[in-house]
Structure 1
Amino acid sequence: MGEQLGGNKGGPSSTNYLKELLFKLNVMDLGYSGNKFTWARGRWDKASIKSRLDRGVANISWQLAYPRATITHLGAIKSDHALILMDTNPSDSFAHIPFRFEIVWLRDDRCSAVIEDAWKGKVSGSEFIKLYEKKAATREALRKWNKEVFGHCQDKINSLLKKIKEVQDRQPSHENGLLENDLQAELSEWLLRSEVVWRQKSRELWLKLGDKNSNILICPPSFTGEEII
Structure 2
Amino acid sequence: MQPFRDVLDECSFMDMGHIGPQFTWHKHYARYTIWERLDRVVATNEWFDKFPDTKVYHLDVTTFDHKPLWVVLEIMECCQHRPFRFEQMWMTESGCSDTIEAVWRSGEVDPRSVKLLNKVDRCGIELTKWSKKIFGSVRAELEKKLLQQAERRAIQGGNTVWMRTLEREINGLMDKEAKMWAQ
**TM range, smaller chain:** 0.3 to 0.5
The higher-RCO structure (CA 8 Å, 6+ apart) is 1
Using the size of structure 2 for normalisation, the TM-score is 0.36
More helix by share: 2
